[in-house]
Amino acid sequence: MQIVIIGSGNVAYHMAKAFSLKGISLAQIFGRNEKELSKISEELNIPYSAKHLEDADLYIICVSDNSVGEVSKLITKQDCLVAHTSGSLPKEALHGEYRKASFYPLQTFSKSKELEYEKIPFFIETENEEDTKTLFELASRVSENVMESTHEKRKYIHLTAVFACNFVNHLFSRAKEISDSQEIPFEYFLPLIDETVQKIHEIEPKMAQTGPAVRNDLRVLELHEQLLRNEESLTIYKTMNHSIQKMYEL
């Protein structure tokens, strides 16, 4: 099966790398950023182009949600399968006479960070059983966790991921602002962060909650509010504590 990956960003890079490491041949990686395509091509030994899109049986579109529709129009072949990697878009966001699918890897991707691809869950949605089988077998060569998912379910998977990943990372950034303001190395907090994440592998998150809000320690909560000079951080602090207290009915 001839496979082409479209895109040159984080997801495209990691999909190409995952396939390469698992011995899945790629006919091409295609995109508009020739500089990034060249880097990926050189590292993974995959042909690339920013001008000519190769003929393929499967095209996997790894671009931003806002670009999926326009990029999908570049594929004029009809007898092929086209899948996007978006967590929020329906497969109908693809514009063409080809067969449409979703091939969603549930992970946060950065080119500079190594990943254990076999642990990344893949969620698949297609228009027919044969294409489901094709994508299921392909994903299973990369990952130990592959399942079918409707668009409706995938929207909630993506929403959960935003809470569990994007929001948490933003809190890390805000925490670092506070530690930087007091010249406290943020590295000192990494063991705490690691233990917090590791703990929910063994304990349900709600049961693992600690801190002044769940203890209803009003003295500490008030003290912290007085220390926060940044209005956004203060708003986040109050909102998070209110949410925690509401969850535990304090």
* Predicted confidence (pLDDT) per residue in 130-159, tens digit: 999 999 999 999 999 999 999 999 999 999
- The pLDDT confidence band at residue 231, using thresholds 50, 70 and 90, is very high
If you compute the radius of gyration of the chain from its CA atoms, what whole number of angstroms results?
A: 22
Residues near 1 by beta carbon (within 8 Å), at least 6 away in sequence: 57, 58, 134
Average pLDDT, the chain: 96
Torsion (CA) 113, 89, 197, 13 in degrees, nearest 10: -10
Query: Would you place residue 102 in the very low, low, confident or very high pLDDT band (cuts 50, 70, 90)?
Result: very high
pLDDT of residue 133: 97
Q: Check pLDDT > 90 for residue 248.
A: yes
Please state whether beta strands 48-49 and 58-61 pair in parallel, antiparallel, or not at all (unpaired): unpaired
pLDDT for position 244: 97
Q: Is residue 51's pLDDT more than 90?
A: yes
Contacts for 172-177: CB closer than 8 Å, 24+ residues apart: 174/232, 174/233, 174/236, 177/230, 177/233
192 burial type by CB count under 10 A (0-12 exposed, 13-18 middle, 19+ buried):
exposed
Instruction: Calculate mean pLDDT across residues 99-108.
Output: 97
Closest CA to 109 of 120, 95, 125: 120
Percent of the chain residues past pLDDT 70, beyond the cut: 100
CA 30 – CA 14 distance, rounded (Å)? 14
% of the chain at pLDDT higher than 90: 99
Partners of 30 in beta bridges: 6, 49
Residue 200 has a pLDDT of 96
Q: How confident is the model at residue 238 (pLDDT cuts 50, 70, 90)?
A: very high
Cα–Cα distance, 116 to 95 (Å, whole number): 33
DSSP labels, 38-51? HHHHHHHT--EESS
Segment 96-122 shows an average pLDDT of: 96
Q: Give the residue-averaged pLDDT of 4-9.
A: 97
CA atoms within 13 A on the CB side of 6: 26
What pLDDT shows up at residue 165? 96
Rounded CA gap, 61 and 29, in Å? 10
- pTM > 0.75: yes
Does residue 250 have a pLDDT over 90?
no
